[in-house]
Amino acid sequence: MSSLSDEIMALKKEKNAVLLVHNYQRPEIQDVADFLGDSLGLSIQASKTSADVIVFCGVDFMAESAKILSPGKIVIHPEPDARCPMAAMIDAEGLRMMKKEYPDAVVVGYVNTSAEVKTELDYCCTSANAVRVVKSLKEKKIIFVPDTNLGLYVKRFTPDKEIVLWPGFCPTHQNITKDDLLALKVLHPDAEIIVHPECTPDVIDIADHVASTEGMVKRVVESAKREFIMGTEKDMCYRLKKENPGKEFYATGKALCPNMKKITIEKVVASLRTLQPRVELSKETIEKASLPLKRMMEAGRGN
């Protein structure tokens, strides 16, 4: 494995490439990252670098977002079959039909959507800033897509809004149950429970803290607790343990995203050697999809 890691380091220098790695990637890929984090934060970081090439280790919509925000750079997605199931639960045609049903509504879409769907959004949001984005809107009727659980979480803090939800969800977070976390709590009674807002409402109800993945990183550092039960994809615990060696982290084994794991370190090496497979989007798609992202940054100010 070390020889592959060494080759990645050499190829990054040779190609003037930057390696972006999502928190849910395999540990060995996290170890060779230039930037490790959440999907939008990584794309924003990449847009600020002088790299000519972005290699995005995550699922499909994340690599697309990097291309939208860095249209002049070569963007590589090492495994095109690494797709987000939740993003696949909505398409542009279906969203257009919903918009006709609620013509006076503003459309807010989770960043976990395809580039094509983003062209139909008014605003994007992340799990970290969804509440802030919706609160910032003067309109009272909101179409929120595609994550029902995140939409229900936003509803808790925006009682003055009428929020119409799309029936989508993240299978990995949907698989995390209240009973799973309570069973871990029995084993680790002093642990703080931190969950992602993509979890179901009953899971959120028992959490000590609800946060995006980057919010989890900050919370763990700030907390006086030494043990944490994490309601998110299990390999988030690898990063947390690496950055906080004096603390312990527990997650249910069911919290696994098989799509994130389709990218292997061998595929990363192959992508850097060949600069393939590339993410290609039309100029029109990039222009239209960039608007809700820009509006989000103006309205929500957060990653």
pLDDT at 302: 40
Q: Are residues 26 and 165 in the same domain?
A: no
Q: In sequence order, what are the residues at sequence separation of 6 or more whose Cβ sits closer than 8 angstroms to the Cβ of residue 92?
A: 114, 116, 117, 119, 120
> Which has the closest alpha carbon to 23: 58, 64, 54?
58
DSSP lists the bridge partners of residue 193 as: 229
Q: Are residues 183 and 244 in the same domain?
A: yes
Residue 220 lies in a domain: yes
pLDDT at 303: 37
Q: Are residues 63 and 122 in the same domain?
A: no
Question: What token pair was written down for 139?
Answer: 């309109």
Q: What is the pLDDT along the chain (303 residues), one digit of tens a residue?
A: 579 999 999 999 999 999 999 999 999 999 999 999 987 788 788 778 889 999 999 999 999 999 999 999 999 999 999 999 999 999 999 999 999 999 999 999 999 999 999 999 999 999 999 999 999 999 999 999 999 999 999 999 999 999 999 999 999 999 999 999 999 999 999 999 999 999 999 999 999 999 999 999 999 999 999 999 999 999 999 999 999 999 999 999 999 999 999 999 999 999 999 999 999 999 999 999 999 998 987 764 443
pLDDT at 269: 97
Separation of alpha carbons 12 and 110, rounded Å: 31
pLDDT at 288: 97
Q: Are residues 198 and 219 in the same domain?
A: yes
pLDDT at 300: 47
Question: What token pair was written down for 9?
Answer: 């380091």
Domain count, the chain: 3
Residue 193 lies in a domain: yes
Residue 132 lies in a domain: yes
pLDDT at 197: 97
pLDDT at 224: 96
Percentages (nearest 5) of helix, strand, coil residues in the chain: 45, 15, 40
Residue 124 lies in a domain: yes
Q: What's the one-letter identity of residue 109? A: G
pLDDT at 49: 84
Question: What token pair was written down for 34?
Answer: 């230039």
Q: Are residues 51 and 110 in the same domain?
A: no
Residue 42 lies in a domain: yes
Residue 128 lies in a domain: yes
Q: Are residues 9 and 47 in the same domain?
A: yes
Query: CATH no. for residue 199?
Result: 3.40.50.10800
Question: In terms of residue numbers, what domain contains 185?
Answer: 176-250
Q: Are residues 45 and 93 in the same domain?
A: no
Separation of alpha carbons 199 and 251, rounded Å: 13
Separation of alpha carbons 22 and 260, rounded Å: 9
